[in-house]
Amino acid sequence: MAALPGVDHAGFVSHLPFDDSLPNWYDYVWQNGAAKDEQNALMADHRAASAGFFNSLGAHFVTGRNFDSAEEMSGRRVAIIDDVLAQQLWPGQTAVGKLINVAAQHGDFGRAVAEVIGVVKHIDSHSLSLGERGQVYLPYRMASRANIYFVLRTESSPAYLIPMIRRQVAGLDKDLPVAALTAMDDYLLQARRQSRFVAVLFASLAAVALLLSWVGIYGVTVNSMTRRTREIGIRIALGASSSHIFKLASAAGLRPIFAGAIAGLGLSLGFTPLLSSLLFRVRAVSAPILAGVFLFLLLVGLMATLIPTAKVLRGHLRNL
């Protein structure tokens, strides 16, 4: 597959990120030589993988190195862990060269001691926003699994490769099925679906709330101006200009709007972090976003106040 036209990297892994078609493989992991009572304190996702998997996925190595061909063929007991697990096991230290006890398979499930040769940046596997377990990657011969997913990295269209992949596999075994040929973007789309639904729901509720606020402020302003008809007439009779009355009436309506916007800003600073679990690569508190929303709400309040104020005031002046 690596030799196919347009393929930059090819590798395999036992469990694809964001693919829930197989039961997740996770087990306890601990430092080699840990006391008995410390051995069942930390769990990590286990994966059987090849060196090409990290290259195909574009994974970033924080320190250490990838598997080499000799390790993949011999089943040497080595492991690559992610930065989350490295921090949990050896906070503030380097994990490369350390020994860990991991779950492995040699015909049946068992334990094995492996040397950490690399630390890779955490790869989201179950969710784009929720915190996840650390990860352990083992050479396939050390931890063989029944299922294998091939991962290809290409600059061309994935659909262009599908016929060639089928022919390549059929050339080895015509009875071997090739299933679930899917672009990684589709897995990401599935992973984002829940967050997208929540975002659309929140946006819809916010739009309804904004509309109700507009209607409410507009109605209250019209009612207030109508009840002040006599006061406006007296002020005009005493020599007040229409612009002065407009400013006076507008100020009365704008004060609660400013107070409400400031109160809402303070509440958002308190409650927004609670929604951080629904956000992907977006900070819970962003100064530009908060400032933009604050100014937008002020603008809506201003329009809902000034427009009916001017309209009602013109009507009063005509009647007077």
Tell whether 124 and 256 lie within a shared domain.
no
Tell me if 227 is assigned to some domain: yes
Give CA 58 to chain center in angstroms.
Answer: 18
pLDDT at 107 over 60: no
Question: Given a cut of 80, is residue 164 above it in pLDDT?
Answer: yes
Residue 244 has pLDDT above 90, yes or no: no
Look up residue 53 and give its two tokens: 């998997």
Q: Is 177 found in the same domain as 39? A: yes
Q: Is 67 helix (H, G, I), strand (E, B) or coil?
A: coil
Residue that is last in its domain, among 182, 208, 225: 182
SS3 content of the chain, % helix, strand, coil (to 5): 50, 20, 30
Q: pLDDT tens digits, residue range 46-77?
A: 999 998 999 998 899 999 999 988 777 776 88
108 and 255 belong to one structural domain: no
Domain match, 227 and 252 both: yes
Same domain, 236 and 98: no
Domain that holds residue 34: 7-182
The answer to whether residues 119 and 98 touch, using CB atoms and an 8 Å cutoff, is no
**Within this chain, do residues 256 and 138 fall inside the same structural domain, yes or no?**
no
Residue type at position 152: L
d(Cα 260, Cα 129) in Å, to the nearest integer? 31
Check whether residue 23 and residue 169 sit in a common domain: yes
Confidence of residue 117 (pLDDT cuts 50, 70, 90): very high
Alpha-carbon separation of residue 60 from 81, 212, 267 (angstroms): 12, 48, 38
Instruction: Report yes or no on 187 lying in a domain.
Output: no
Q: How far apart are CA 124 and CA 128, in angstroms?
A: 6
Q: What is the amino acid identity at position 47?
A: R
- 160 and 17 in one domain? yes
275 vs 4: CA distance, rounded Å? 45
Q: Which of 115, 149, 182 is the last residue of a domain?
A: 182
Q: Is residue 2 part of a domain?
A: no
CA distance readout (Å), 240 to 14, 113, 233, 314, 320: 81, 89, 9, 15, 13
Q: What is the DSSP letter of 310?
A: H
- Are residues 242 and 206 both part of a single domain? yes
In a domain, 244, yes or no: yes
Q: What is the pLDDT of residues 197-220, one digit of tens each?
A: 877 888 899 899 888 988 888 888
Q: How many domains does the chain contain in total?
A: 2
Question: Which domain-ending residue is among 131, 160, 182?
Answer: 182
Pairing of strands 61-64, 109-120: antiparallel
Residue 66 structure tokens = 């990838």
pLDDT tens digits, residue range 122-160?
988 887 766 678 999 998 888 877 678 889 998 877 788
Residues 294 and 159 in one domain: no
**DSSP symbol at 202:** H
236, 314: one domain: yes
